[in-house]
Structure 1
């Protein structure tokens, strides 16, 4: 078998991840990591837009369009965070990762937790402003309804009383439509508040799950690091012992050579004495 064939087979094993192992260029791992990175990038854009629009709530720039945009982006981002969270958990559970893949795992976890923390803060801001808006709207509706009920008709004559009642009825019809409209808006906003509260709770659970996995992996990495340190210490000790053994062996060989040389000299002298004698 030629060297080129051996190189081709080795490259094929690395690309394929023999025996089920995951290599640094594992296409499934890389594809999933890239998809999660792209979604996190989009979520960062959503967070920037939410930060701007939520700042408009309760100000002169507050309007129905801004509120609708805020709620749409909140809902879209919540679903994306759930999807990304499941992907991050899958990446964290990947078997036989290389150092490069381990770095990608940690980076994705950090980016996910950072983005989710910022998003949860924005959700709470939106929730507070929605509650304040609903409270103010509810108070305004109560005042309007009470004003309509308390206005009485008074007069000395029957004709004057009828005229006042007609004017009061006409004046009450228009505000009542506005009151009904405001009531509908309040109910809609209360539904939005419940959705935000539920979203905050769901994402808190997801954040806890990912953080727990990261913590457990951190403990595993600490164990691996400890084992590596122990192996390095044992290896260093073995190296020292091998060096000592090699030095003793060299000394022994030197002594043997000296002894052999002395014996050779003695033998030579004996032989010369025998032949000359």
Structure 2
């Protein structure tokens, strides 16, 4: 389906919206990075992880919306706006690169935490050693608790692990989504690059024509100089012959 061309005023409105979105993405990335750095510290908590995932989900949606707006800029055909559009593409690419980096870091940390939690759950079923660990102390305490309370706690732990794993899968899907946006941006840059290459080719061809024209002018100038030189020589010869004839006639009269 044909896409309608947009005006320069609409281009500027979209460009401003995109620039604002890029700044918001970068701000969110900075916030997410601080939150990830609090993992496995006294500040770590389920609420921290929940808030982090909420911000990531919102940012992922913002990335998708911004990408769509960026593609809408191509509907404006004014060439003098290309520099502004390319700058926005570069800034957006940098922003989603930073976002994907914090996404991957979060996934790695949370996967390790889930693996460790599952490993600790297996260790709890083994007989305690002479020096019980923190998790084994918890296990001993749990063993002394009523069986119903133990079962409830185990169900809560299992549910918590499953929720973490679902959150990790969602993050991984979002990372795949950002990769798709990378591909779209790459295709967009390639299309624009093809146009630029065509323009550069035209400029080079024009340069060749100019060089050929200059060479032709130089050769014409040389030819003109040779003709002028021949005319001067011929005029000199005719003048000499005329002087000789006058001299001969003058002698004959005397």
TM-score higher than 0.5? yes
Instruction: Provide the aligned length of Structure 1 versus Structure 2.
Output: 211
Give the match for residue 122 of structure 1: 102
Question: Runs (4+) of structure 1 moved beyond 6 Å?
Answer: 20-23, 242-248
Is 1:83 the counterpart of 2:65 in the alignment? yes
Is 1:106 the counterpart of 2:86 in the alignment? yes
Give the match for residue 189 of structure 2: 214
Correspondences of 1:54-65 after superposition (within 5 Å): 54-65=36-47
Give the match for residue 274 of structure 1: none
Give unpaired runs (5+ residues) of structure 1: 1-19, 152-167, 256-277
Give the match for residue 37 of structure 1: 19
Contact 2:6/2:76 (<8 A) preserved? yes
Output the CA distance in 1 between the equivalents of 2:190 and 2:5: 24
Structure 1, 127-136 or 57-66: larger mean CA deviation: 57-66
Give unpaired runs (5+ residues) of structure 2: 129-142, 232-254
Superposed CA deviations along residues 102-123 of structure 1, whole A, max 9, x for unmatched, are: 1111111111111111111111
Give the C-alpha shift of residue 197 in structure 1: 0.8
1:59 is paired with a residue whose SS is coil
Give the C-alpha shift of residue 58 in structure 1: 2.4
Output the CA distance in 2 between the equivalents of 1:222 and 1:235: 20
Give the C-alpha shift of residue 231 in structure 1: 1.9
* TM-score, normalised with respect to structure 2: 0.72
Is 1:136 the counterpart of 2:116 in the alignment? yes
43 and 138 in structure 1: CA distance in 2 versus 1, 3 angstrom threshold = same
Correspondences of 1:202-241 after superposition (within 5 Å): 202-235=177-210, 237-238=212-213
Give the C-alpha shift of residue 139 in structure 1: 2.6
2:41 is paired with a residue whose SS is coil
Higher relative contact order (CA 8 A, sep 6+): 2
Give the C-alpha shift of residue 32 in structure 1: 0.7
Give the C-alpha shift of residue 173 in structure 1: 3.3
* TM-score, normalised with respect to structure 1: 0.66
Output the CA distance in 2 between the equivalents of 1:169 and 1:55: 37
Q: CA RMSD in A?
A: 3.1
74 and 225 in structure 1: CA distance in 2 versus 1, 3 angstrom threshold = same
142 and 104 in structure 1: CA distance in 2 versus 1, 3 angstrom threshold = same
Give the C-alpha shift of residue 243 in structure 1: 8.8
Correspondences of 1:181-196 after superposition (within 5 Å): 181-196=156-171
Output the CA distance in 2 between the equivalents of 1:233 and 1:169: 91
Contact 1:141/1:179 (<8 A) preserved? no
